[in-house]
Structure 1
Amino acid sequence: MKEKVKEDNYKVFALLSRYLNNTPDFINKEEIEEIVNCGVSYEYAFGLMLAAAFGMDTVDNVDDKELFNQYFSNMLHKLDANEYYDNPYYKNIKIPTIKINNSELKYEKYKPFEGFVCNDIIRTEEGRQIPQVGFFQTEFMFPAVLENDRIWMTITPNEIETMKEAVDKAFGNVLTFGLGLGYYAYMVSEKVNVESITVVEKNQDVIDLFNKYVLPQFSNAHKIRLIQADAFEYAEQHMSKEKYDFVFTDLWHDVSDGMDMYLKMKKFEKKSPDTVFMYWIEQSILCYL
């Protein structure tokens, strides 16, 4: 059974990877609405269309039917755009369209029914690893930083959901590796039990964009200290001396480029035994280790 679960995990991840990387907007509104009108949920209709696109026979093929039931019902989520637009950062921080050297600040969008990763992987007791894929019924705009015309940093539902715990648990003097658009720094700065936030960021262009266009909108900008440095060099040479209470690391784009950096940063924990450490998408990274 264990080997079968591993095979199922691999199959689902392979299928989803091709879909999300190549044709995330494959499912169109008219077709999915037609299925929903038959009395099923949007998630179920989305799953049926996705399974069909993967070449799965969920009616007569026993293995395909089991795979659909084990994964798809817990994998797909119709999200409420208003819930995310009501997020404090979305409500209070306005992002201009501006470019500095190779870095560009702008809004990107998800099309209606475009699929995207929306949360950490869920691991079941039997070892099934279930990706979390979301979609909206309507177009959804989100802030992004592009480097060399490639999306590098965003504030999407995925970032919001996967940072909730690290925001909730932050306290005292906080250190965060990775600036992005300052979402984590903003959310933590709004907490009364957080005294300061030190942000270590290597990319000077990103720092310049943030300092000029984003930080002035923070109501607690006085709590923020920015340091232009390599995260690993700072962790090795300065982190333990500063005696931070809480450290959050967000340096990677996804699991594929995050595993090595995650393991490298974990080694510095022993130098600060009284500090609480958390890492972005750690739950998903651990599924691959």
Structure 2
Amino acid sequence: MQNNQIKEDNYRVFAMLSNYLNKAPEYVDKEEIEEIVNGGLSYEYAFAIIMAAAFGLDIIDNEADKKVFNLYFREMFHKLDENEFYSNPYYKNIKIPAMKIGNSELKYDTYKPFEGFVCDDIIQTKEGRQVPQIGFFQNEFKFPAVLENGRIWMTITPNEIETMKEPVGQAYGNVLTYGLGLGYYAYMVSEKENVESVTIVDMNEDVIDLFTKHILPQFNHADKIRIIQSDAFTYAKSEMPKEKYDFVFTDLWHDVSDGLDMYLKMKEFEKQNPETIFTYWIEKSILCYL
């Protein structure tokens, strides 16, 4: 009975958060949250109260709503320090020019003050509760982005930085990464002394062109980088076993919704490469759906 209730709570929270992030991520008003904070509450708690009210939760008299608030909302929202992320090596050393090539556009996008966004992997508790991690900044925050046909496709936001910390830290030797994006992962691992080479597999010619002309020349260790234009799964099947990579990182999806099937498909190739370490972007969040 408890497991069913937890599943219902998870579903309820995810439905609320999905509606908020997709339709009204700028819902929280700066003046409203500042007024609550001036009353002695933290930004995180004030943000949680505002969002609970927006979702129609009665956290005073309704015990079920109060429980959801305490178990999810109080652990869900995080005020982030923009200076911490601006000091990231990629942010500090790589400058993104605004330009278009084909259907791809390179630019800086922004999070507005108190705009909510996913900032890390889902946290799953021992009892099975799944708590999304939503961040916000007090001030405007700029981040690099690639748009495909006017739609944001690839970014380097706090979410990418936080969810790539482990696979960056673990990488060594000859590294293979599926998915180029703006080259964040390739840059971070190329800076490591114990990484000898970084092979990037991506099939988008426009993105490769943008990266090769405008971003790769800014790398301190561009000599470590090799780019192969290919479908990831074709390469994984025919070429990956021949190369004997030490470490593989896969980042082919936009989020969990389009990543689950690709994640499972790539996992099958681990059997053909038993001596290689495989890691996957937002794997902790993906596993919550399996």
**Shared fold (TM-score greater than 0.5)?**
yes
Residue 236 of structure 1 is matched in structure 2 by: 237
Determine helix, strand or coil for the equivalent of 1:20.
Answer: helix
Residue 76 of structure 1 is matched in structure 2 by: 77
Q: CA deviation digits over 1:63-116, x for unaligned, max 9?
A: 111100000111110000000000000000000000001000000000000000
Whole-angstrom CA distance in 1 between matches of 2:34 and 2:239: 55
Superposition misfits of 4+ residues, deviation over 4 angstroms: none
Whole-angstrom CA distance in 2 between matches of 1:134 and 1:252: 21
Whole-angstrom CA distance in 2 between matches of 1:28 and 1:183: 32
Which AA in structure 2 matches 1:68?
F
Whole-angstrom CA distance in 2 between matches of 1:34 and 1:211: 48
Residue 257 of structure 2 is matched in structure 1 by: 256
Which AA in structure 1 matches 2:139?
T
Q: TM-score, normalised by structure 1?
A: 1.00
Deviation at 1:34, TM superposition (A): 0.3
Determine helix, strand or coil for the equivalent of 1:288.
Answer: coil
Matches within 5 A, 1:54-203: 54-203=55-204
Deviation at 1:43, TM superposition (A): 0.3
Q: TM-score, normalised by structure 2?
A: 0.99
Whole-angstrom CA distance in 2 between matches of 1:255 and 1:129: 14
Deviation at 1:287, TM superposition (A): 0.2
Structure 2: tracts of 5 or more residues without a match: none
Deviation at 1:151, TM superposition (A): 0.1
Whole-angstrom CA distance in 1 between matches of 2:60 and 2:45: 14
Whole-angstrom CA distance in 2 between matches of 1:61 and 1:32: 23
Which AA in structure 2 matches 1:61?
N
Whole-angstrom CA distance in 2 between matches of 1:57 and 1:102: 47
Q: CA deviation digits over 1:208-230, x for unaligned, max 9?
A: 00000000000000000000000
Deviation at 1:234, TM superposition (A): 0.1
Deviation at 1:28, TM superposition (A): 1.1
Whole-angstrom CA distance in 1 between matches of 2:103 and 2:187: 24
Whole-angstrom CA distance in 1 between matches of 2:98 and 2:27: 28
Whole-angstrom CA distance in 2 between matches of 1:115 and 1:61: 26
Which AA in structure 2 matches 1:267?
E
Residue 11 of structure 2 is matched in structure 1 by: 10
Structure 1: tracts of 5 or more residues without a match: none
Whole-angstrom CA distance in 2 between matches of 1:65 and 1:35: 19
Whole-angstrom CA distance in 1 between matches of 2:93 and 2:116: 27
Whole-angstrom CA distance in 1 between matches of 2:102 and 2:259: 26
Which AA in structure 1 matches 2:19?
R
Determine helix, strand or coil for the equivalent of 1:35.
Answer: helix
Which AA in structure 1 matches 2:51?
L
Whole-angstrom CA distance in 1 between matches of 2:82 and 2:32: 21
Deviation at 1:158, TM superposition (A): 0.1
Whole-angstrom CA distance in 2 between matches of 1:59 and 1:154: 39
Whole-angstrom CA distance in 1 between matches of 2:203 and 2:28: 38
Percent of paired sites with the same residue: 73
Figure out how many residues of one structure are paired with residues of the other and give that number. Answer: 289
**RMSD over equivalenced CA pairs, Å:** 0.3
